[in-house]
């Protein structure tokens, strides 16, 4: 089915997307562009991908009716439990798919960027599984604040390279990954979000689409209807939101809510709420909404959550924002921390700090008792315990 939210032949979602890459990367990107759809749609890929998702990742992930949370907010709230995936977040849906694509293309060396470390861990995991060489670029600042994930990557046999330029976070890790890719064109860049040059945003969205594919039949079973009223997901680059929205984008009756990280406040100067602060620009090979100054220099974002600390947003999300198909809200560090504690105490689930941003908009929404809301619980909070504990002490 062709959707108006799928990219055109040049990789554009409306005015956003494209592939703004140096000539040095053209052959790599072209090779992927020429092959990715054919590979993903092949029977061989689908059998292997679905089998790994089932037996290795542990899918389908449950769709859980959060009764106490529902009671508190006066709605019918389901949690899509991506935190129960192997490695603890939705990121592995994408890495399992991309590693199969990489193998099909005959690649043996894998590189990746990571913010919170979840994508790095998910990449290191599938590389171990397939016996492939893995290098992960991670901002120096993130290496400190997500130490448990750094240890996991190393244990899984990956090399972790600190990105020391710029803000030393996800943006800079991505820069370093792309630079390494330019120098080593034989490597496969296993990108972690719906960002980067076409076809990466579309490829990652297709691989994360399993989230909404499952939501459809799970909701049908539980509520009698495939469609919820509202889907809420946090957005840094936007991969978990892309997956949760994917099969609902053309159903206008389903409200899509994307939640960005407001840091210390949208207008505090310390924020990562790209849609509110950004303008059209180019980052990591994609035309999108970008936080930048009047001369097009990229502004360093801020969020307590390493996974949302990104000055851009995937081109699909820029289009969902511009076309008003999705509603963009945001949550501050403080609101996210509160929401993280609340879910822990009400439902016995410690969410990732990224995910806590999605939960944090519940008090701001005008919810109705019979309104079916699905929150994409993108990851678990083990990696963030230190930050959570520090906050509790304060």
Partner 1 sequence: MNSIKQLFQQKDKNLLSIYFTCGYPELDDTAQVISQLEKSGVDFIEVGLPYSDPLADGPTIQDSSQKALENGINLDIVFDQLMEIKETNKKPLVLMGYLNQMLKYGEDKFCQKVVDCEIDTLIIPDLPMVEFENHYQALFDKYGITNVFLITPHTSEDRIRKIDSYTKAFIYVVASASITGAKGEISNQQIAYFKRIKAMNLQSKLIIGFGISDKETFNTACAYANGAIIGSAFIKNLGKNGVDKINKFINPILS
- Cβ of residue 189: shortest distance to partner 1, in angstroms? 13
CA distance to 41, 296, 382, per residue, from 374 (Å): 28, 37, 22
Of the residues 82, 113, 335, 342, which is catalytic?
113
With binding defined as CB under 8 A, does residue 19 bind partner 1? yes
- Cβ of residue 282: shortest distance to partner 1, in angstroms? 4
- DSSP track, 135-203: EEEEEHHHHHHTHHHHHHHHHTT-EEEEE-STTSSHHHHHHHHHHHHHH-TTSEE---SS-SSTTHHHH
With binding defined as CB under 8 A, does residue 295 bind partner 1? yes
Query: Is 113 marked active-site?
Result: yes
Q: With contacts defined by CB under 8 A, name the span among 19-27, 74-82, 86-94, 251-259 that binds partner 1.
A: 19-27
Q: How many CA atoms lie within 13 A of 51 on its CB side?
A: 7
Place of tokens 């390493």: 306
Of the residues 91, 107, 168, 171, which is catalytic?
91
Q: How many other CB atoms are there within 10 angstroms of residue 212's CB atom?
A: 23
Residue 366 CB burial class (10 angstroms; 0-12, 13-18, ≥19): exposed
Closest-CA residue to 283 (of 21, 27, 9): 21
With binding defined as CB under 8 A, does residue 106 bind partner 1? no
Nearer to partner 1, 195 or 207 (CB): 195
With binding defined as CB under 8 A, does residue 394 bind partner 1? no
* Rounded (5°) CA angle 211-44-135: 65
Q: With contacts defined by CB under 8 A, name the span among 222-230, 258-266, 291-299, 358-366 that binds partner 1.
A: 291-299
- DSSP track, 309-356: --SB--HHHHHHHHTTSEEEEEEEHHHHHHHHHHHHHHHS--B-HHHH
Nearer to partner 1, 75 or 299 (CB): 299
Nearer to partner 1, 251 or 279 (CB): 279
Pair of tokens at residue 259: 């939640």
Of 24, 37, 47, 385, the one binding partner 1 (CB under 8 A) is 24
Of the residues 212, 342, 378, 383, which is catalytic?
378
- Cβ of residue 281: shortest distance to partner 1, in angstroms? 5
- Cβ of residue 185: shortest distance to partner 1, in angstroms? 5
Site string for partner 1, 270-289 (x = CB under 8 A): ---------xxxxxxx----
Query: Is 239 marked active-site?
Result: no
Pair of tokens at residue 42: 């092949």
Of 62, 162, 166, 363, the one binding partner 1 (CB under 8 A) is 166
Of 96, 121, 259, 290, the one binding partner 1 (CB under 8 A) is 290
Q: Which of residues 297-316 bind partner 1 (CB under 8 A)?
A: 297-298
| H-run or E-run covering 282 | strand 279-283
- Cβ of residue 313: shortest distance to partner 1, in angstroms? 15
Evaluated on CA atoms 358, 244, 169, 136, the torsion sign reads: positive
With binding defined as CB under 8 A, does residue 114 bind partner 1? no
Query: Strand pairing partners for 312?
Result: 290
- Cβ of residue 43: shortest distance to partner 1, in angstroms? 31
- Cβ of residue 307: shortest distance to partner 1, in angstroms? 19
With binding defined as CB under 8 A, does residue 185 bind partner 1? yes
Closest-CA residue to 354 (of 329, 336, 372): 336
Beta strands 279-283 and 286-290 are antiparallel
Query: Is 91 marked active-site?
Result: yes
Q: With contacts defined by CB under 8 A, name the span among 88-96, 180-188, 209-217, 266-274 that binds partner 1.
A: 180-188
Of 23, 252, 393, 394, the one binding partner 1 (CB under 8 A) is 23
Closest-CA residue to 116 (of 327, 288, 351, 285): 351
Interatomic CA distance for residues 145 and 386, integer angstroms: 8
Of 22, 106, 224, 348, the one binding partner 1 (CB under 8 A) is 22
Of 217, 296, 389, 390, the one binding partner 1 (CB under 8 A) is 296
Beta strands 372-376 and 12-13 are unpaired
With binding defined as CB under 8 A, does residue 115 bind partner 1? no
* Binding stretches for partner 1 (CB under 8 A): 10, 18-24, 26-27, 165-166, 171, 175, 178-179, 182-183, 185, 279-285, 290, 292, 294-298
Q: Which residues are catalytic, by number?
A: 91, 113, 378
């Amino acid at each position: 089915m062709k959707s108006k939210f799928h990219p055109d032949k040049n990789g554009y979602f409306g005015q956003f997307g494209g592939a703004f890459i140096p000539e040095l990367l053209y052959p790599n990107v072209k090779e992927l562009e020429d092959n990715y759809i054919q590979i993903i749609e092949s029977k061989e890929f689908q059998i292997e991908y679905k089998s790994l998702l089932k037996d290795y990742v542990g899918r389908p992930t449950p769709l859980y009716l959060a009764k106490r949370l529902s009671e508190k907010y006066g709605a019918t709230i389901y949690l899509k439990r991506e935190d129960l995936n192997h490695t603890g977040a939705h990121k592995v849906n994408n890495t399992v798919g991309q590693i199969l694509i990489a193998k099909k293309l005959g690649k043996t060396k894998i590189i990746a960027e990571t913010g919170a470390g979840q994508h790095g861990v998910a990449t290191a995991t599938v590389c171990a599984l397939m016996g492939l060489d893995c290098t992960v670029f991670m901002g120096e600042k993130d290496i400190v604040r997500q130490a448990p994930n750094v240890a996991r990557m190393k244990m899984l046999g990956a090399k972790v390279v600190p990105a020391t330029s710029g803000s030393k976070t996800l943006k800079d890790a991505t820069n370093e990954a792309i630079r390494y890719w330019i120098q080593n064109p034989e490597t496969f860049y296993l990108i972690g979000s719906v960002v980067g040059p076409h076809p990466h945003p579309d490829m990652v969205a297709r691989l994360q689409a399993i989230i909404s594919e499952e939501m459809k039949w799970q909701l049908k079973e539980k509520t009698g209807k495939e469609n919820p009223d509202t889907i809420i997901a946090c957005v840094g680059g936007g991969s978990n939101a892309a997956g949760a929205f994917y099969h609902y984008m053309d159903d206008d009756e389903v409200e899509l809510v994307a939640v960005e990280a407001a840091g210390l406040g949208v207008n505090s100067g310390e924020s990562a709420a790209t849609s509110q602060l950004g303008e059209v620009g180019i980052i990591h090979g994609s035309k999108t909404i970008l936080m930048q100054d009047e001369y097009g220099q990229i502004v360093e974002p801020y969020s307590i959550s390493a996974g949302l600390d990104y000055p851009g947003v995937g081109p699909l999300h820029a289009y969902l924002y511009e076309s008003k198909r999705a509603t963009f809200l945001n949550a501050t560090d403080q609101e996210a921390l509160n929401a993280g504690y609340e879910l822990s105490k009400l439902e016995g689930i410690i969410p990732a700090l990224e995910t806590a941003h999605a939960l944090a908009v519940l008090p701001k929404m005008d919810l109705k008792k019979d309104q079916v809301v699905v929150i994409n619980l993108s990851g678990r909070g083990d990696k963030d315990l230190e930050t959570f504990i520090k906050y509790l002490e304060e």
